[in-house]
């Protein structure tokens, strides 16, 4: 092959030789932080080889950009084509050189435009919460799987999530087994569902490309890097990572608790006393089931008794004995722990007559405690933290179990150093609400006996622990709403906060749900404040014909009208917001299938990470915000 002495041919040859030189690659899917992830070599090999355990949790988030430039515009592809033409048809080499030069120059220009466009389109963006409610990686997959179905051998339709959980139970920690079984399962998923899942994964996963590096005859030969087969394998890999034995255990815990609840029949038939007795039985069965799970997986369970009073209107006799459940998780090493952290979740539910199963509120919170305790036992923390679990009863009746525990620990002088109350987990993806003591201003629960503190102070230990937890949750991809959208948790955390015991409450909700929750909550507070300003005895007397002085009657009418208008706003928001707490829980919507166990485990793991990294500093009062002191 000769270029002759034509200046044009010499220039063409130089340009083509330049195109063969290695250069910067075009923008494509890369790892967060700029590091390309490790990937499989052969996308057509068996699924077991495609899904090695070492790649189960690649620490990257794929950016949603297009694949690198391929085909006729790729410089390496142009060079390969020209060389092939010159070898096979030497007399047409000059024409091929000229055409190749034009293609290479055009491709380079196009590549420059793509690079500039991509750089503009993918400038740094704020975290998910600041950008709205953008889902974290895999949240979309979890949500889609949670709603999807699969065809069984007899033609029946079953839950895809249930099928994945069963695979996790059977294969346990053998990831190759899970991958192989999931790959086979996907053959029975309806084509529309499969396409939806593959599209979601394609937006968040990086296709395998390492096999292209040694392609013939030159590096970078144009090829299709993400085939339908590799898409299916990528989906199987994602699902194998999402639906693990830990997720199956979380689901099993909730099923056990809900199963106890279902031992008591739902429905509103019978007398009020009969309906109430079924609810009491449902909560007793739940507590028995939870005690069994704690004893099986964590350790010896202490039943902490307390006595109920003032509940005759609920057909509960004065002097009835109730129990909280307490477990101490074994600590690491022989060195005594320096601080005690108490994880709290309530066991009881209401709304059984309406069909509630108490799954989101709060079997999910108890399952979170069980998951954390199991992981803690496998790898106890060595940061001086003693972890304890408290599963309370009668939270729904005014935090009675938590209040009894607090009264006892204050009397005994052995209250925990820090408390985390977990109430409702497994909805809304990578978002959560957190309630600290400072949010109790204006709470209707302040001033009530025996929690009579009017302005509970926020201790340094709570302030610093909260900062640390938020930082670690953020590192795991979880964000909480800004202050103006932050809902306030009305849960067992109030009993501890009212007594000035350092405590935060956590609940996993979406950004949209958090805003609605906050709006509904603010409307309720406004109504309660205006309602309390009405002298209801005088109002009733007037309604019965009593004559009031004109000025008193005017003020009474104004206050009544203001309270009535506030109540109308509160009711309207409650009816409009499908996920406001009264609509989401305590009724027929609180069912097992509405809780996403994969999301629950994600949140539990993030909280576990935060607890493991709590830094206690009892010596230096000038410690920075990343340390704790008492």
pLDDT on residue 67: 34
pLDDT on residue 223: 44
pLDDT on residue 521: 83
Q: Is 348 helix (H, G, I), strand (E, B) or coil?
A: coil
What is the Cα–Cα distance from 53 to 35, expressed in whole angstroms?
Answer: 20
Please, what is the average pLDDT of the chain?
78
What is the Cα–Cα distance from 111 to 69, expressed in whole angstroms?
Answer: 7
> What integer is the mean pLDDT of 373-381?
91
pLDDT confidence bin for 24, thresholds 50/70/90: very low
pTM listed for this prediction: 0.73
pLDDT confidence bin for 455, thresholds 50/70/90: low
CA 106, 109, 112 angle in degrees (round to 5)?
150
What is the Cα–Cα distance from 438 to 165, expressed in whole angstroms?
Answer: 41
H-helix or E-strand containing 12? helix 7-20
CA 269, 270, 271 angle in degrees (round to 5)?
135
Q: Which residue has the higher pLDDT, 490 or 305?
A: 305
pLDDT confidence bin for 301, thresholds 50/70/90: very high
H-helix or E-strand containing 14? helix 7-20
What is the Cα–Cα distance from 98 to 82, expressed in whole angstroms?
Answer: 9
pLDDT confidence bin for 94, thresholds 50/70/90: low
CA distances from 269 to 265, 273, 279, 303 (A): 10, 11, 13, 33
Two structure tokens written together for 69? 């430039």
Q: Look-up: residue for tokens 């620490």?
A: 59
Two structure tokens written together for 335? 């060195």
Write the DSSP assignment of 221-285 as a string of letters.
----SS-HHHHHHHHHHHHHHHS-HHHHHHHHHHHHHHHHHTTS--SS-S-HHHHHHHHHHHHHH
pLDDT on residue 336: 80
Instruction: Say whether pLDDT at 630 is over 90.
Output: no
Of 623, 622, 33, 394, the C-alpha closest to 614 is: 623
Q: Look-up: residue for tokens 């949209």?
A: 512
pLDDT on residue 517: 84
Gyration radius (Cα) of the chain, Å: 31
Name which of 314-318, 533-537, 573-577 the model is least confident about: 573-577
Q: Which residue has the higher pLDDT, 29 or 263?
A: 263
Question: Are the beta carbons of 400 and 308 closer than 8 angstroms?
Answer: yes
Residue 528 contacts by C-beta under 8 Å, 6 or more apart in sequence?
444
pLDDT on residue 380: 84
Question: What would the 3-class secondary structure string for 455-467 be?
Answer: CCCCCHHHHHHHH
Instruction: Say whether pLDDT at 117 is over 70.
Output: no
pLDDT on residue 152: 80
> What integer is the mean pLDDT of 430-455?
75
Q: Which residue has the higher pLDDT, 192 or 30?
A: 192
């Amino acid at each position: 092959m000769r270029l002759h002495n034509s200046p044009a041919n010499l220039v063409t040859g130089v340009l083509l030789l330049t195109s063969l030189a290695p250069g910067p690659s075009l923008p494509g899917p890369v790892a967060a932080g700029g590091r390309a992830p490790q990937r499989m070599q052969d996308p057509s090999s068996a699924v077991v080889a495609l899904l090695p355990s070492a790649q189960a949790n690649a620490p990257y988030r794929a950016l949603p950009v297009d694949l690198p430039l391929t085909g006729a515009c790729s410089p390496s592809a142009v060079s390969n084509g020209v060389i092939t033409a010159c070898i096979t048809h030497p007399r047409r080499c000059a024409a091929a050189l000229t055409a190749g030069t034009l293609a290479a120059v055009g491709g380079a220009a196009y590549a420059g435009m793509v690079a500039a466009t991509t750089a503009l389109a993918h400038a740094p963006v704020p975290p998910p919460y600041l950008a709205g409610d953008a889902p974290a990686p895999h949240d979309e997959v979890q949500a889609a799987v949670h709603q999807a179905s699969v065809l069984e051998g007899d033609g029946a339709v079953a839950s895809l999530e249930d099928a994945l959980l069963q695979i996790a139970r059977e294969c346990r920690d053998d990831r190759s087994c899970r991958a192989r079984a999931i790959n086979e399962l996907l053959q029975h998923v309806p084509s529309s569902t499969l396409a939806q899942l593959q599209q979601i994964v394609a937006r968040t996963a990086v296709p395998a490309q390492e096999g292209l590096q040694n392609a013939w005859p030159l590096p970078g030969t144009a090829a299709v890097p993400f085939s339908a087969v590799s898409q299916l394998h990528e989906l199987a890999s994602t699902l194998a990572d999402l639906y693990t034995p830990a997720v199956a255990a979380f689901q099993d815990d909730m099923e056990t608790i809900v199963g106890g609840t279902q031992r008591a029949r739902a429905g509103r038939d019978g007398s009020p006393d009969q309906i109430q007795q079924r609810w009491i039985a449902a909560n007793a069965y739940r507590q028995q089931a939870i005690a069994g799970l704690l004893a099986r997986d964590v350790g010896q369970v202490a039943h902490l008794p307390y006595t109920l009073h003032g509940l005759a209107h609920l057909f509960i006799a004065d002097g009835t004995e109730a129990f909280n459940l307490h477990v101490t998780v074994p600590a690491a090493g022989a060195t005594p722990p320096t601080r005690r952290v108490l994880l709290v979740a309530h066991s009881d539910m209401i709304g059984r007559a309406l069909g509630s199963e108490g799954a989101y509120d709060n079997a999910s919170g108890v399952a979170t405690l069980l998951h954390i305790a199991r992981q803690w036992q496998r790898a106890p923390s060595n940061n001086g933290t003693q972890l304890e679990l408290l599963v309370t009863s009668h939270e729904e009746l005014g935090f009675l179990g938590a209040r009894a525990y607090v009264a006892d620990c204050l009397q005994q002088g052995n209250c925990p150093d820090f408390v985390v109350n977990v109430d409702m987990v497994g909805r809304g993806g990578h978002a959560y609400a957190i309630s600290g003591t400072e949010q109790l201003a204006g709470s209707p629960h302040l001033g009530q006996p025996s929690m009579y503190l009017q302005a509970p102070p926020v201790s340094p230990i709570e302030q610093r622990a909260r900062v640390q937890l938020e930082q670690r949750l953020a590192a795991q991809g979880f964000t909480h709403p800004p202050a103006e959208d932050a809902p306030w948790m009305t849960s067992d955390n109030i009993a501890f906060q009212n007594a000035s015991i350092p405590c935060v409450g956590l609940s996993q909700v979406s950004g949209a749900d958090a805003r609605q929750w906050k709006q509904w909550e603010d409307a309720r507070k406004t109504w309660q404040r205006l309602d309390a300003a009405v002298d209801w005895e005088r109002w009733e007397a007037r309604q019965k014909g009593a004559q009031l002085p004109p000025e008193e009657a005017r003020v009474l009418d104004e206050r009544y009208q203001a309270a009535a208008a506030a109540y109308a706003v509160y009711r309207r928001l409650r009816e409009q917001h499908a996920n406001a707490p009264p609509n989401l829980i305590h009724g027929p919507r609180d069912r097992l299938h509405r809780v996403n166990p994969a999301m629950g485990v994600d949140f539990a793991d993030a909280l576990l990470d935060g607890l493991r990294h709590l830094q206690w500093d009892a010596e230096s009062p000038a410690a920075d915000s990343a340390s704790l002191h008492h």
